[in-house]
A and B are shown apart, each in its own frame.
Chain A
Amino acid sequence: MMISLHYEVDGQDFALAGEASSNVKKVLKQLGVKPDIIRRVAIAMYEGEMNMVIHANGGIADVEITPSKIVIIMQDTGPGIEDIELAMKEGYSTAPDAIREMGFGAGMGLPNIKKYTDQLQIISEVGKGTRLEMTIFVK
């Protein structure tokens, strides 16, 4: 048994960012998933969504829910990440000033995704795009 959800994350509309993660949150509550798991999924997914909006002009998100785990795949065709290890460091950010003024760009997104997921795989190629695969175990 698996529930698959698919979202297009609009890179132009800041106000809509976060819609996919709040929708997933609602679905997980309806499925009776434990509150702490929902919280981890929501935060990780929100950060991934924001990264696609801020750094990659949008992308797509796929969520696969099974009774044992939740897998979130986020893909974009943005600029890619040159040095993934560096990008994973707390505080590292290439966000422009305008974005920082809006309260983003603390360089905490990827570290938080790492913290809140059980497994994280990042594949990225400069000029081609980025793919994040996050897994959170339900039990």
Chain B
Amino acid sequence: MKKLKYDVVVLGGGAAGMGAINGALSQNVSVLLIEREASTGGVLNQCIHNGFGVHVFKQELSGPEYHEMYMEKLSRFDAMYETTVLNVDVKSNTLNTISISGVYEIKYGSLVLATGARERPFEALRIPGYRPAGVFTAGLAQHFVNLENRLPGHKAVIVGSGDIGLIMARRLTLEGVEVEGVYEIMPYQGGLTRNIVQCLDDFNIPLHLSTSIVEVHGKDRLEGVTVAKFENGHPVRKTERFVKCDTLVASVGLIPENDLVNETIELSDGSGANVDDLMRTNIYNVFAAGNNVCIHDLVDFAAVEGEIAGKNAAHVAKGKELPERMGILKKGEGVGLLSTKYTIAAEPFKLFVRVKKPMGTTILRLNDQKIKTVLAAKPSEMIEVKMDPSRYNMKGNLILSAMEVDKI
């Protein structure tokens, strides 16, 4: 077994991982990236649509462009590609990897987890019927079409109205696949409005809300699905309809990828890593950033989180002690997700909030302090809140709530 030692080890080279490398390199420490795939970029590689980099590069780039342009900002760092991490031992600050070049034991000063998210599989929906060929997750279909030059089929149904599903509805249509419709079990859309308009409305692809799939037909190859209206999570009788299709694309959510550390790192109920505003986990020299913390709509935020994580990881690796946590953030009424769970209450930081259901004019409060008013709040669009300890009391228990004060 070969042994290596680095100040900062970054696990995963997507947007957040690249950000972490950038942040760590700015502090002149040694950096090692460990990446499962053959290159950096993560999901950016397969997201060929435009809409990336609005904040960091002030342009609407495609994913691959964002990836290459960000890489050009980085100076030299070491990397191990096509490498699997077998385990992380946070007591001895080591991790073990395996790849074609052998088995390594790597000692780190600090570790940045940037492993992104994985897709919730169609199986998770527990729908009766066989699982014939032709059932894909949206990200897998995207990988086939955009990286491997293969089409999944000829006539597709999309289940779930998350952004990847919407983007794939357009992509498949452009490539000549007939997209029959998008079926969403909730009474509201899962993805961004911009994607509903530019991916569905532009191509007259219907979005069926409060509707989902109740049965899958076909044994070897998918032959069709039965869809039905849903009320309160249950199918409504006599609303069933058969839809002929040979392809089913599931866009039913992303799950933060933390399997390697789920016994050591404190995770939230949504399985994201619980971090403070320094992107530090419950272990002083383990940091986390990107979709493994919470699912981001915008790549820029994943990258910026990475930069913060990388910089603080470098400080710790150099022996600097970081400030203690002073406040605990908790979800209050109307709030479905908070990006940050703790704060040192010393410097301003950006908190990302998702509401539970669509609301009109909504007031966000931190305990009884009013911190933001938005004209419309939707679960699909993260709300960015500037948390400033010079303006708000940010110590102790902090309940963040979202209350609708006026309908749209």
Physical interaction between A and B: no
Using a CB–CB cutoff of 8 Å, the interface residues on chain B facing chain A are: none
Using a CB–CB distance below 8 Å, which chain A residues touch chain B?
none
